[in-house]
Structure 1
Amino acid sequence: MAGLLGGRHTLRARLALAIGAVVAVLAGLVAVVTTNAYAAAGCQVTYRIASQWPGGFTGDVAVKNLGDPIGGWTLRWAFGAGQTVTQAWNATVTASGAQVTAADAGYNGAIATNGTVSFGFNGSWTGSNPVPASFTLNGTVCTGGVGSASPSASASPSRSASASPSTSTSPQPSGDAMAAVAAMQPGWNLGNSLDATGADETSWGNPRVTAALLDNIRAQGFNSVRIPVTWGQHMGGAPNYTVDAAWLARVKEVVDWALADGFYVMINVHHDSWQWLNTMPGDRANVQNKYNALWTQLAAAFRGSSPKLVFESVNEPQFTGSSGDAQNAELLAVLNKEFHRIVRASGGTNATRLLVLPTLHTSADQARIDELTSTFNQLNDRNLIATVHFYGYWPFSVNVAGGTRFDPAVEQDLVGQFDRVANAFVARGIPVIIGEYGLLGFDRHTGTIEQGEKLKFFEYLGHYARTKKLTTMLWDNGQHFGRTSFTWSDPELFGQIRSSWTTRSGTASADFVYVPKTGSIAAQNLTLNLNGTTFQSLRQGSTDLVRGTDYTVSGNQLTLTSAALTRLVASRSYGVNATLQARFSAGVPWRINIITFDPPVLAAATGTTAAFSLPAQFRGDQLATMEAKYADGSNAGPQNWTSFKEFDVTFAPDTTANTITLRPAFFAEVNDNARVTLTFHFWSGTRVTYFVTKSGSTVTGSTS
């Protein structure tokens, strides 16, 4: 659900290749050479910088063979500004000075005529990061044609602020909603800005939206942007409910920037859903009049805008004080139908504009889908889109009730929801947009869910949405992509998301291996999740580990040998001593941290229900979850239907401060003068017991 000021600020991304001349974009540089003929030798190279951050970048390279089939390939180019390749996948990359050589990985050596092979790499840069001027494939200059009859492969490293990297900026024909929504994939939400409920767009802590932000989001590979807008605090009173002209002009300015960048753009009525629209059961006439007046003004303001502008009737519709599901469904149907009537009657581009209608609460439950299906049947309009939101299986999404892993329950919850909307709508030719997706744990910080488990969730989400032809829009309230730095707070997460738009990636049962601080080190096993790929190699930095000596692979079991682990951890300092990459035939590599640890040590403490932190020596380990029980075995604390408490709501580790804080929310539902046994579960498998007793506002903690 979208964020509320003072409550949840819930967090909610395929770079299209330009065809024709070369396009180069900072943080999304693309060099493309085209052709439509082949002969004995010829090639086309597409080089793009998929993401960039201070000092580093990720490059994606696609090589198309325009000549006769080849059985092995070597691609060469020169970096012009001192860039270096630090690691690569799906190719073996070496360098001598500025000259770079990428050779096939064996399994991808054959390229048929007009066939394409792709590989990727991470690199470093300083000063500037221009695309290479030219490439050779097996000694043949890749000019985009055969012989010398094609244009040069050189690239220009700049573009105007309004240029679009989209393959097409022409609007989809009216009635072709499925094609338009497919072209919107992937999408991104400009959350907690124009939807903020304060005086202006900065009231929830984000800076003013800039054209540069949208330029940079476009360069990340997004083809659509959802711009949530809250209108209520910018509207006058009855009977006209006039929208403030300056606010409307500001919204239009941001929309126009996005359209100029080539985005499909979605605007809506956002937090109004819980500010005043929710009172409709008891104040129907006034709410209906205000809603109709709002959409009448918006339809008039945008009636001449590009067909790539999309309207969404209301975000996460909800009603307070209704008589139940039947009335909720009836009220939402009224809002959706009035929205449809007003927009269509306003004429201009609105006569055929794509309109998005949500389910109640944007839920994918079958009953909610059935209700929206009824509305679609009644409206019988080929330019309508259905929308739901998806934040995953709740215990996993917030890390409660032991939901620490991406397990079959989490996967089946996703499959069920995506299947239901695909069967109800897509199967009938009605497109579906997952208007917001993410994890609810991002409300606090992204560390609520363990990194590897998070990556597996997003890898599968992107894959399954693609198979069901669902367009996805990442919810981002500023925590994912920096609004002024234009960098990702978690590049590894975005790399996984971006990869999932086009292919699957191999993963593993964990992204870590724990080894003891002292004593002998035993061999360790990880289960590989191949996801349709094949395992290729295990690498540390630019060095491949030796199969059969450092590791073995049997079926889906990867075993790291005792000798290799002992060498990798070296002096065995606490924490990550080495990082490996399991490399597969497609997708991004899977990172495996080799971690040295000792069992964590906790210490006695005193404090209050408002401020209680216990000393914790983590000694290389990481906290996964916490159980709380009374002496009789019953569950203690909030959500007492489970012994496992909610991460960061009831407890929060701080490995820098060496503390574990028990939140006031935990003590608020703990019995007075009752001893509570806490069991802290760590990712190494270690469990540590601790005891707390609350007496009034005083809290004492001990290890025995």
Structure 2
Amino acid sequence: MNKQQAPQHRRRRLRLAVGTPLALIAAGVIAYGTVFGVFGDDAKPEASAATAPVPDSAMAAVAAMQPGWNLGNTLDAIPDETSWGQPRTTKALLDSVRAQGFKSIRIPVTWSDHQGAAPNYTIDPAYLSRVKQAVDWAIDEGFYVILDVHHDSWQWTSKMSTDHDKVLARFNTTWTQIAAAFRNEPAQLVFESINEPQFDNADNARKAELLNELNTYFHKVVRGSGGNNTKRLLMLPTEVCTPDQRLMDNLATTIKSLHDPLLIATVHYYGYFPFSVNVAGATRFDATARQDMDKTFKRMRDTFVAQGIPVILGEYGLLGYDHGPGAVERGEMLKYFEALGHAARSNKVTTELWDNGSFYDRGKLKWKDAGLFRQIKSSWTTRSATASSDNVFVPKSGTIKDRTLTLNLNGTAFKALKQGSTKLISGKDYTLSGNRLTLMAATLTRLAGDRSYGVKATLQAEFSRGVPWRIQVISHDAPAQSSTTGTAGSFRIPTQFRGDVLATMKAEYADGGNAGPTDWTPYQQFNTSFAPDYAKKEIRLTPAFLDAVKDNARVKLTFHFWSGATATYHVTTSGSTVTGTTS
């Protein structure tokens, strides 16, 4: 996926899985030929000691690939590897990622800007060599590797419905070249036919025909290329990698028609769309978002896994997080990843975390949010408890009252509440009644200290297993805003946040109609229509939002904050001029 701009088709997605290899073949040298019988005369006879052992079936191999990680926005970047802000990939990076516990890596590659003209569409040898270098480094590190044809899907294969023969010819010659270049790679290399395939100007039946054709030709080209490709694991996607039932049924039909036991189904999942991007007021990982996840993973299990077809969730994450922290509240994000890991394990789906640089800092070789990664990693093997919130807001002045959080125990048992290494005292500092954890007023008053704005204390609720749940005690007052003028290209609302955190924004005209680009809801999309800047003490209204509102129409904005506070503001656009008032 191009994480530069999240497309609307993300409203229906999914991904994930786990397992233990059924047969490990190791002893310094791994006998790939014995397992898959894949070697031609010029194939590599041995693998390095670091190479992952090969299980004895596609299902076991996919289980052994759990968990996985995407080298996103890199070799898939357009036009070059560093064009989308990520550094050039190094062996040290791959070694570092491997050390985090990942067993497989998906290397998305966009080939179109490195191909010659028709009819040969020759791939630049230097670029092909660079891709092969990255693949070989990853295999040497012990990864299973997934290699695909990535943004080509919307650059040129999407035109297959109107330029069928030309697109199919280019697709076949592209895979002919890739297959030839990698034919002697060990069985740990997996080929994926195409990322998120889509087709312009075609109805559903025609799209299904076209994708079946691409997947079938991909299978024919690779299997006919000789070497280790005759028995290599091959991964086939649904349309746009969407996990809708109809699309998964279409893929299952294609896979069964190929009569090949070494095929893998793949879909993507970025959660319930409104929650994933924070639009329509869906700020929480609530029952609706959980149900969307559970049903989607069940569909994957019933359609594929139960029929003996392994599934790889080729991408998963949250679309809002791709643009950086803020759109999805951190505690709600932790709940999402905790639940997703459980859903993947329960339904035997292998997962590949989409990372375009938002999660792992490839320059510093460290997680940008270590606590978030601890939750993701823990979810690979066990459940963790969560709570109704990870923040407790207390007033800067006036009386502080008891505050109660609802624990989501997820099969765990509460053990202790701590501040650092100090245990808080049950019955004095807090009480626990069933799954209701109450922080006492006196304790919160003590923790708030001088009550200056912001986080005053951090607690950890510990449980019988999994990751502790962090609870921040935050001192705040109601946010305050000021009148201002500006332009549609650069409009900022002066905002004194006073310790509070923005949750969402509602935009309405005087007649009650929805204002803004997402006219199907009054609650606009975080970062797309508005974005807070806490350091600069302002909220930016984007050109996309202001250009979508009616000229000379007064728009009422209601800002909702995580403390429960709201602030009302009005804006009016007149040509390129924007006027904002608090009344």
TM-score scaled by length of structure 2? 0.92
Residue matched to 1:688: 567
Q: Which amino acid aligns with 1:194?
A: L
1:300-315 paired onto structure 2 within 5 Å: 300-315=180-195
Query: How many residues of Structure 1 are paired with residues of Structure 2 in the alignment?
Result: 552
Matched, 1:414 2:297: no
Matched, 1:219 2:99: yes
1:172 deviates by 2.5
Residue matched to 2:42: none
1:4 deviates by 5.1
Q: Secondary structure at the match of 1:280?
A: helix
RMSD: 1.9
Residue matched to 1:612: 491
Alpha-carbon displacement from aligned partner over 1:281-326 (angstroms, at most 9, x marks no partner):
111111111111111111111111110100000000001122x011
Preserved contact between residue 627 and residue 679 of structure 1 (Cα < 8 Å): yes
Preserved contact between residue 550 and residue 560 of structure 1 (Cα < 8 Å): yes
1:289-304 paired onto structure 2 within 5 Å: 289-304=169-184
Aligned with 2:52 (options 161, 164, 169): 169
Larger radius of gyration: 1
Alpha-carbon displacement from aligned partner over 1:175-220 (angstroms, at most 9, x marks no partner):
x00100000000000011111121x311222111100000000000
Q: Secondary structure at the match of 1:304?
A: coil
CA distance in 1, matches of 2:494, 2:131: 49
Residue matched to 1:206: 86
CA distance in 2, matches of 1:345, 1:674: 64
1:15 deviates by 13
- Greater percentage in helix: 2
Residue matched to 1:140: none
Residue matched to 2:257: 378
1:21-100 paired onto structure 2 within 5 Å: none
Residue matched to 2:71: 190
1:170 deviates by 2.4
Residue matched to 1:180: 61
Q: Secondary structure at the match of 2:532?
A: strand
Preserved contact between residue 15 and residue 223 of structure 1 (Cα < 8 Å): no
Matched, 1:3 2:3: yes
Q: Which amino acid aligns with 1:412?
A: Q
Preserved contact between residue 193 and residue 215 of structure 2 (Cα < 8 Å): yes
1:507 deviates by 0.5
CA distance in 2, matches of 1:415, 1:594: 32
Preserved contact between residue 530 and residue 542 of structure 2 (Cα < 8 Å): yes
Report percent identity of matched pairs. Answer: 59
Compared CA separation, residues 163 and 557, structure 1 to 2 (3 A): farther
Matched, 1:258 2:138: yes
CA distance in 2, matches of 1:236, 1:641: 44
Residue matched to 2:357: 478
Q: Which has the higher contact order (CA 8 A, sep 6+)?
A: 2
Residue matched to 2:366: 487
Preserved contact between residue 52 and residue 144 of structure 2 (Cα < 8 Å): no
CA distance in 2, matches of 1:611, 1:250: 41
Alpha-carbon displacement from aligned partner over 1:243-298 (angstroms, at most 9, x marks no partner):
11111111111100000111000000001101111111111111111111111111
Alpha-carbon displacement from aligned partner over 1:95-129 (angstroms, at most 9, x marks no partner):
xxxxxxxxxxxxxxxxxxxxxxxxxxxxxxxxxxx
Q: Secondary structure at the match of 2:511?
A: coil
Aligned with 2:154 (options 267, 270, 274): 274
1:703 deviates by 1.0
Alpha-carbon displacement from aligned partner over 1:335-370 (angstroms, at most 9, x marks no partner):
100110111111221111100000001011011011
Q: Secondary structure at the match of 1:448?
A: coil
Aligned with 1:528 (options 382, 400, 407): 407
Residue matched to 1:468: 347
Preserved contact between residue 146 and residue 190 of structure 2 (Cα < 8 Å): yes
Residue matched to 2:33: none
Alpha-carbon displacement from aligned partner over 1:459-490 (angstroms, at most 9, x marks no partner):
00011111000000000112211112100111
Compared CA separation, residues 6 and 636, structure 1 to 2 (3 A): closer
Q: Which amino acid aligns with 2:190?
A: V
Preserved contact between residue 19 and residue 64 of structure 2 (Cα < 8 Å): no
Q: Secondary structure at the match of 1:559?
A: strand
Preserved contact between residue 323 and residue 358 of structure 2 (Cα < 8 Å): no
Aligned with 2:310 (options 427, 431, 448): 431
Aligned with 1:638 (options 493, 513, 517): 517
CA distance in 2, matches of 1:461, 1:652: 27
CA distance in 2, matches of 1:577, 1:610: 37
Preserved contact between residue 277 and residue 287 of structure 1 (Cα < 8 Å): yes
Preserved contact between residue 153 and residue 194 of structure 2 (Cα < 8 Å): yes
CA distance in 2, matches of 1:178, 1:15: 9
Q: Which amino acid aligns with 1:189?
A: N
Preserved contact between residue 5 and residue 204 of structure 1 (Cα < 8 Å): no
Structure 1 alignment gaps of length 5 or more? 20-161
Matched, 1:245 2:121: no
1:276-425 paired onto structure 2 within 5 Å: 276-322=156-202, 324-425=203-304
1:169 deviates by 2.8
CA distance in 2, matches of 1:5, 1:469: 30
CA distance in 2, matches of 1:659, 1:477: 27
CA distance in 2, matches of 1:290, 1:691: 53
1:6 deviates by 11
CA distance in 1, matches of 2:308, 2:343: 18
CA distance in 2, matches of 1:466, 1:694: 51
1:496 deviates by 0.5
1:90-169 paired onto structure 2 within 5 Å: 164=50, 169=52
Residue matched to 1:22: none
